[in-house]
Structure 1
Amino acid sequence: MSSDEAQQDAQPWSWDPSLYAGSAAFYAVGRAPYPAEIAEGLRAELALDGQSRLLDVGCGPGSLTLLLAPLFAEAIGVDADADVPAVAARLAAAAHVEHVSWRHLRGEDLPAGLPEIRVATLAQSFHWMDRPRVASALRGLIAPGGALVHVSATTHEGVPTEAALPHPQPPRDAIRRLVRQHLGDRRRAGRGVLAAGTPGGEDAVYRAAGFTGPHRVEIPGRVLERTAEEVAASVYSLSSSTPHLLGDRLPTFDAELRRLLDQASPSGRFSEEMASTTLHLWR
């Protein structure tokens, strides 16, 4: 490691607008959909009757927002990526969901004049935020009797399995080696690096903000069929391998990625066993 790299690793990571720049459209294609059982689980646990308001913080292109929208009279998705509102709005229109709105907004800027909400959701997003600040803001936004739902999920890839599957599994290890070959061994994240990965310990953060719980609901994993295009998009949907990080190396990287996928499955079809999803319900 060079002295410049060591100095960069020693600096605490901070968010910048390039974190997911250019990834929104890839996210919509490359991330597996959240299981429908999430909506059924929350409907039962929170007695949702379509009469309240949802706020999805760090919503991305709205994968979770649109799944949960039928449980509410109004759904609001906010995200720090400037490209998200347009992509999410197109997906909402295609799904004929009209009672949802999208805002380019960081979680740290909440409450930002938003109205009181019944449920707030955070799915694959909280670790990028100033967590105490965001948790405190949400505590003030959630109506009495409402809930914050932290969704632990992995949607860009599945888990390796020795079970017989209809199609080959994506060559994830080879893809990771390819990313390291082009971007280096240190995990990239916007203009910085994540030498120690993203933070954990969410329970302590929520409790410090005044929430009680959590009550946990486990949603089993399932096997999905994925196309080569979806697998490629899943790579570009990650903060650590967004297209802008690759710069002028993108055409070469993409050609090598497509070659890996074609070698692994000439039919262009893959099977992937997705991990279980956990809902952490905080009151």
Structure 2
Amino acid sequence: MTDRAAFQWDETLYAGSARYYATGRMPYPGEIAELLRTELSLDGRGRLLDVGCGPGSLTLPLAPLFDSVVGVDADPDMLRQAARAAERAGIENVRWHHLRAEELPAGLGTFRVVTFAQSFHWFDRPQVAAAVRPMLASGGAWVHVGATTHRGAPGDDPLPYPRPPHDEVEALVARYLGPVRRAGRSLLPDGTPGGEEEVMRSAGYRGPRRFEVAGGVLRERAEDEVVAGVFSLSYAAPHLFAERRPEFERDLRALLRAVSPTGRFAERTRAVELVVWQP
């Protein structure tokens, strides 16, 4: 029995979302790389494994800290987007592998650092935690990155443009897809699981050490970016709306224009938490 018994993974979890992800999600703060460089004494050597890498949102900013990098993801469209982003950025030390986390170690070898950014909750966590432990080199570290990048922090301080009406957008999604959160072909009535510390300790990890990268950075966002942020979500992936997707997007854009007729929005980023474990 796994801790994800209520959730049956399938390949439609993020189907159609990859093309929206980089546009709709706010980037990870650059301070993450500097914090990890300092706290893990990174010196450009060793290997990084990013599990559930998506379109490389964290993989690519961290790539300069290592000799070589491996990104793995179960969605081939995400990996195609990641490869294109790496090519545009001129980053050549990354290799991409299409596989599920549950397939690890998959002959990938050992790594100085293994990262999970907004991804660990989708996996069979006890299985993956156990599989990754022997993949960590001596002195290596597991880094869990907890973040919310599709929407900013709540607040009422004045900004140059209105904040996106995220609560109203969530209600619109529920109106189309039902009140119970979707996840591929499954439903998540209770959301994704907690209890990460217990999972990690049971798998033999020490720690954790916790760090926070402050939020509060002002981000201006266009209507198209907010729309892309919605379609980047597992519970609002484009395929879930089926033939009603054009209708949903029309209603979504009408809602956004009612709040900001110019189609411009602003919000402040949320803090990002880094949790470091060692075997």
Give the alignment's TM-score, normalised by structure 1: 0.95
Equivalent runs, 1:59-98 vs 2, <5 Å: 59-98=53-92
Equivalent runs, 1:92-107 vs 2, <5 Å: 92-107=86-101
Amino acid at match of 1:105: L
Matched, 1:46 2:40: yes
Matched, 1:27 2:21: yes
Amino acid at match of 2:160: P
Q: 1:103-147 CA distances to partner (integer Å, 9 max, x unpaired)?
A: 111100000010210000001100000001111111010001010
Q: 1:169-226 CA distances to partner (integer Å, 9 max, x unpaired)?
A: 0011111111111111111110010011100111111111111001111100022111
Equivalent runs, 1:262-273 vs 2, <5 Å: 262-273=257-268
Q: 1:25-58 CA distances to partner (integer Å, 9 max, x unpaired)?
A: 1111101100000000000000101111000000
Equivalent runs, 1:132-281 vs 2, <5 Å: 132-221=126-215, 222-281=217-276
> In the aligned structure 2, how far is the partner of 1:104 from the partner of 1:223?
35
- Deviation for aligned residue 1:159: 2.1
Contact 1:84–1:104 (CA<8 Å) still a contact in 2?
A: no
Contact 1:224–1:274 (CA<8 Å) still a contact in 2?
A: yes
Contact 1:223–1:272 (CA<8 Å) still a contact in 2?
A: yes
> In the aligned structure 1, how far is the partner of 2:133 from the partner of 2:218?
36
Gaps of 5+ in 1: 1-10
Contact 1:111–1:137 (CA<8 Å) still a contact in 2?
A: yes
Equivalent runs, 1:113-124 vs 2, <5 Å: 113-124=107-118
Structure 1 segments, 4+ long, off by >3 Å, are: none
Contact 1:30–1:234 (CA<8 Å) still a contact in 2?
A: yes
Which of 119, 128, 133 is the matching residue for 1:125? 119
Amino acid at match of 1:86: R
Amino acid at match of 1:244: H
Amino acid at match of 2:252: L
Contact 1:34–1:63 (CA<8 Å) still a contact in 2?
A: yes
Q: 1:242-280 CA distances to partner (integer Å, 9 max, x unpaired)?
A: 010000000100111111112211222211122110110
Give the secondary structure class of the aligned counterpart of 2:113. Answer: strand
Give the secondary structure class of the aligned counterpart of 2:27. Answer: coil
> In the aligned structure 2, how far is the partner of 1:72 from the partner of 1:225?
32
Gaps of 5+ in 2: none
Amino acid at match of 1:228: E
Number of equivalenced pairs:
273
Give the secondary structure class of the aligned counterpart of 1:16. Answer: coil
